Amino acid sequence: MNRITGAYRVIDLTPGRRVWLNTLDLSWQPHAIYGLLEVDVTIARQFIAEHKARTGEALSFTGYLTFCLARAVDEDKAVHACLKGRKQIVVFDDVDVALMVEGKVGEKRALMGHIIRGANRKTYRQIHDEIRAVQSTPVPPGRGIPGWFRSAMLLPWPLSRLVKALLGMVVRLIRLFSYP
């Protein structure tokens, strides 16, 4: 398991918040949050286009969005917190942003997962350079997914669902015991 973590705080949940967690468990299992967002990116697109016209370098729009997201989350880190058991949350000081980056495999393109660590402390240019570096590295065999995991996810429906449920239990146990 990857143990790279930065500074964090463990905060006790108030009884009221614990009531809501238990209520959500009764009504809806996945705890999914759906959202629709509209953002005016006209000025950012103009800046990127002007930079390309001036220098020939295409700045990463994904890098710009990552930069903005990290700054927004940095203002209220509670949106970046995760549960520890049922009575506490872990709030991290660093904002890590996971994204999919497209790389080349011969003539084809493939998606790879990448995490921009400490994105709230990086400049737009640093995030852009990190994304471009990931894009230029060769895509690992199997796109970085362990062979056993790929095989498990390709099992017929009832078996793949069972594997996902078991992995989910393991992840919850790891989270429960990972932080002091």
What are the tokens at 123? 């400049």
Per the CB < 8 A criterion, the answer to whether 59 and 129 are in contact is no
What are the tokens at 40? 């005016």
Q: Specify the DSSP element, H or E, that contains 2.
A: none
What are the tokens at 154? 């390709």
Angle at 94 between CA 8 and CA 120, to 5 degrees: 155
Q: What helix, strand, coil percent values describe the chain, rounded to 5? A: 55, 15, 30
Q: What is the pLDDT along the chain (180 residues), one digit of tens a residue?
A: 345 556 888 888 888 888 877 777 776 666 566 777 788 999 999 999 999 999 999 999 999 999 999 999 999 988 888 888 778 888 889 999 999 988 877 777 778 889 999 999 999 999 999 999 998 887 776 666 677 777 777 878 788 788 888 888 888 788 777 665
- Contacts for 12 with CB less than 8 Å, ≥ 6 apart: 87, 88
What are the tokens at 59? 């700045």
Place of tokens 């009531």: 19
Q: What is the CATH architecture assignment of 8-144?
A: 2-Layer Sandwich (3.30)
Give the closest residue to 18 by CA, choosing from 114, 79, 72, 89.
Answer: 89
Q: What does the alpha-carbon distance between residue 87 and residue 158 come to, in Å, rounded to a whole number?
A: 33
